[in-house]
Amino acid sequence: MKSVRNLVLAAGVVALSGCTMFDTYSEVDALNEAQPVGSPFTQALAGEYKAFANTELKDMLDYPDALHFARKGLSAASGEAVMPEPVGDWNLSENHIKELSAARGRLVVSFDMGGREIAPAAAALAQAKFDCWIEQQEENWQTEDILSCKKGYLNAIAELEGLIQPEPVIEIVPEPAPMIPEEAMYLVFFNWDASTLSSGAKNVIDAIASEVAKNTPSQISISGHADTSGAQDYNKRLAFKRANEVRDALIERGVDPELLVVESHGEDELLVKTTDNVREPANRRVNISFK
């Protein structure tokens, strides 16, 4: 949280009271003079944080955040792939927490899909603009700056997602045969550490509701799953939340609640086998099957 960072940095200023203000904030100067190394992504990210830290220091006079992002820039300049800001570290309203958590989830999914390697400049810009957005959103008074950072993130993440998604294959397929309920299986995928439904997930749920309206099964099983990142108990709860999100969405689309059975498997039934603490997009899912 910014308040915590302010206290730490204020203590640093007191301890360095014999120094000039220029010396106190030397991390920004160090970043300005750094020669980034590492991957194309970390080098691009160092450049983005360099610009951001200088803006915070010289234009916004926001010394604590200037130091915070300068330090992230120095880590990136050394070759470290630092992550976007954790939403829980910032003082935000509930609505802003939801919005920024979803935005961070999109960013992390893009990274998991190779975005940092495929499009390093777009990935670095998306991360820096996300961090800019969350920093401005916590302050919550400079509307133009909030919108500028948010728009920058949305443009960058859209470009990044477009670069890492394969071109769609257009096929002409025959009209499908009537569904056999016992063979029906649908998958809805989720962003990391999220239970909100993406537009793609909603399209799948629309298809399920349409199929149920035409061929009503005796039961619909909704099974929530998670990947292995995080604690098992937490993943069990997260998987249950995901399953309930799908359940509620089906009910909204007219599916009889009496048909729906919800369960959570947490990280116990992985679609893609991984070791512990691995973020695997295919394992963050809900299975929907008919009986």
Q: What is the DSSP string of 245-290?
A: HHHHHHHHTT--GGGEEEEE-TTSS-SS---TT---GGGSEEEEEE
The per-residue pLDDT for 216 is 87
SS3 7: helix
Q: What pLDDT, on the 0 to 100 scale, is given for residue 135?
A: 95
pLDDT of residue 22: 38
CA dist 26 and 171 (Å) reads 59
Give the pLDDT score at 168.
58
For residue 3, the model assigns a pLDDT of 44
Confidence (pTM): 0.53
Q: Residues 256-262: contacts with CB within 8 Å, 24+ apart?
A: 256/216, 259/212, 259/216, 259/217, 259/218, 259/219, 259/220, 260/220, 260/222, 261/219, 261/220, 261/221, 261/222, 262/222, 262/224
Residues of the chain with pLDDT under 70: 1-25, 166-184
DSSP code, position 181: G
pLDDT of residue 164: 86
CA angle 198–201–207, rounded 5-degree value: 145
What is the pLDDT at residue 173? Answer: 59
Domains assigned to the chain: 2-164 (no CATH), 181-290 (3.30.1330.60)
Closest CA to 84 of 115, 38, 39: 115
C-alpha distances in Å from residue 190, one per residue of 87, 220, 277: 18, 20, 17
User: pLDDT at position 183, please?
Assistant: 52
Q: What is the predicted pLDDT for the residue at 287?
A: 93
CA distances for 130 relative to 17, 28, 214, 232, angstroms: 34, 20, 43, 29
